[in-house]
Amino acid sequence: MGFINSIISALHKSKHSSKSKAHLDDFLTADLDCIFDNLSQELILYIFSFLTHQDICSLARVSSGFLKIAYDRTLWKSFTVPTYMKRKSIKKTVNTMSASGRLNHVQRLSLRNKHINDETMEHILRNAPNLKDIRLYNVEVTEKATQSLVNHCPSLEIVHMHGGKATDKCLELLSKGFKNLRHIDLQQVENVTTRGLIHILARRNLSCMNFREMHGSELLALGPHCSNFVTMDLSYSHIQDHEFKQFLQYCTKLKNISLANCKTITDKTIEHLVEFLPNMAELNISNCPNITNHGVNLLLRRATNLVSLNLGHLSCVHPVNLTRFTRSGYEYKASNTKLQILDLSFTDVKDDDIITITGHFDKLKKVSLRDCMDLKYLAPKVIEVIA
């Protein structure tokens, strides 16, 4: 990487002085032939994969060998317009890529720049017919840009928007325009209402969506449209236990769910999860301050299909009790033996709790215990699991 950076630095200098250009020629003659001639094309391609697209374009002008590698389609499956690029640089890069046909190979597009406008978006999308994944950060998405996406990128499967603006009409166009759309993630997008989200949720093949920071009334309005969902992120949502119960009755197919940082849910929500989601495989309830020891132990005992559980930042994990009593007084162990990943970071867990957990869940592969201040020693078996 140091050698690559030296080439790029020399290239930039060569734009400003003939002396630097002569230095670059000497540098390439002395080093490029003796170093890169001894490397396989696969290895050079691997080195190129760590560079930005701007740097790859610069290196393509160094030699015919680099030019050939720079056009390899595997380097252009993903294309990013970073925040630091100026308007002229964006236009120049996009023009170069479209003229050379490299945009045709792009499958994942990430736009992180405030200078992205309808004209630039149209130019990129028109030349990227194989696009499957688009990620927009703080970009204002207009109906015109959305229609361009629909017209030019029929294979789109994933849409991610973080910040920026959009309208309900944009979401309607996305919903009606793509047959293969299966995942949409909207975070802090202005001007989008429940009405717009319902357009998206009307798609039966959609199985994953981000519902972060929503209120209970909004989730209840969306619930009837979420029956096919398998994965759902409800982190930071403002939802009460009784609202969550109603919501879950619509979403019985859920297997992966995050409730991280939901400040209003209690053990009642845990009871509803166990009742309505018997096939739940992944759950994150980290930093939910109203979950108590009762709720934690209820999960460990009765969520029989859990594979991954995040209990981070809970101050109520101790003591872990994996036994319970029937009406006849018979005591038996928890029935979940599928658990493989358990995050107990920043909790009050103690040594005897860890020994109990690792002794029962024999399929555990990873236990996270970062900053667990009450731990004093660990048994050899526990160390093996953590490692």
What is residue 226's predicted lDDT score, i.e. its pLDDT?
84
What is residue 15's predicted lDDT score, i.e. its pLDDT?
44
What is residue 117's predicted lDDT score, i.e. its pLDDT?
86
What is residue 104's predicted lDDT score, i.e. its pLDDT?
87
Residues of the chain under the 70 pLDDT cut: 1-38, 203-208, 324-337, 378-387
341-343: strand order across its sheet: 78-81, 108-111, 133-137, 158-162, 183-187, 208-210, 231-233, 256-258, 282-284, 308-310, 341-343, 366-368
Please identify, among 203, 237, 259, the residue that sits at the C-terminal boundary of a domain. Answer: 203
C-alpha 52/C-alpha 58 separation (Å) is 10
User: Is the same domain home to 134 and 180?
Assistant: yes
157 inside domain: yes
Please identify, among 47, 75, 103, the residue that sits at the C-terminal boundary of a domain. Answer: 75
369 inside domain: no
What is residue 387's predicted lDDT score, i.e. its pLDDT?
46
User: Is the same domain home to 181 and 117?
Assistant: yes
Please identify, among 163, 188, 203, the residue that sits at the C-terminal boundary of a domain. Answer: 203
What is residue 16's predicted lDDT score, i.e. its pLDDT?
47
User: Is the same domain home to 102 and 165?
Assistant: yes
What is residue 192's predicted lDDT score, i.e. its pLDDT?
87
What is residue 5's predicted lDDT score, i.e. its pLDDT?
56
Q: Which domain holds residue 108?
A: 77-203
313 inside domain: no
What is residue 144's predicted lDDT score, i.e. its pLDDT?
93
30 inside domain: yes
What is residue 27's predicted lDDT score, i.e. its pLDDT?
47
Domain count across the chain:
2
222 inside domain: no
